[in-house]
Amino acid sequence: FDVVTASFVVSHLRDYRAGLLEAYRVLKPAGVFAMTSWAAGTNPYSEAWGRLLSEAVSKKRLQEGVNQVTPFAGYFEEEKNVNVALTEAGFADVEIHMVELKCRLSLEDYLADREITSAGRYAKHVLGADIWAQLVANAREKLRQTFGSCFAYSRGAIIALGHKK
């Protein structure tokens, strides 16, 4: 292939090294590998949501569940780790770019987004539909009281390119 992409997915691989080596293997000489990952960071909305979620499912249990789905999320939040991983897989001329993605969501869209995150999916599974619905209703009210009905924030993303020689 001339190009291989992995958009916000490498952190989900149980063996990211094998995944990157496979991406390298299937590239033609002079091919390009492009990946993205979320950068470290937080905002007041996600902190408040995290507290509400931790009240329903212990923080430890929640983290264990999330680690099953995204075992390397923390690792790929750092630009230097992305660079190391690509270099170790054999990619040359690695480029790392940090971008800020601006988000503006209604409260309802924010809650819908939280439901499809690794933590949200895990909590919904553990709690069951009824308790999950109660959690979301409680979160809707508390978040509305604290922040209003519109959330505006930035989220960092890492874009990395590696070249096969």
What φ, ψ does residue 101 adopt, rounded to 5°?
-100, 125
Residue 158's pLDDT is what? 98
Question: Parallel, antiparallel, or unpaired for β 150-163 and 32-38?
Answer: antiparallel
From CA 109, how far away is CA 101, in angstroms rounded? 16
Handedness of CA 115, 113, 9, 40 (dihedral sign): negative
| pLDDT classification of 148: cutoffs 50, 70, 90 | very high
Instruction: Quote the pLDDT of residue 150.
Output: 96
* pLDDT per residue as tens digits for the range 84-138: 999 999 999 999 999 999 999 999 999 999 999 999 999 999 999 999 999 999 9
What strand order describes the sheet that includes 92-106? 3-7, 32-38, 150-163, 92-106
Q: What is the pLDDT of residue 55?
A: 94
- DSSP code, position 77: G
- Give the pLDDT score at 34: 98
The per-residue pLDDT for 117 is 92
Cα dist from 103 to 42, 45, 97, 158, whole Å: 13, 12, 19, 16
pLDDT in tens, 45-75: 999 999 999 999 999 999 999 899 999 999 9
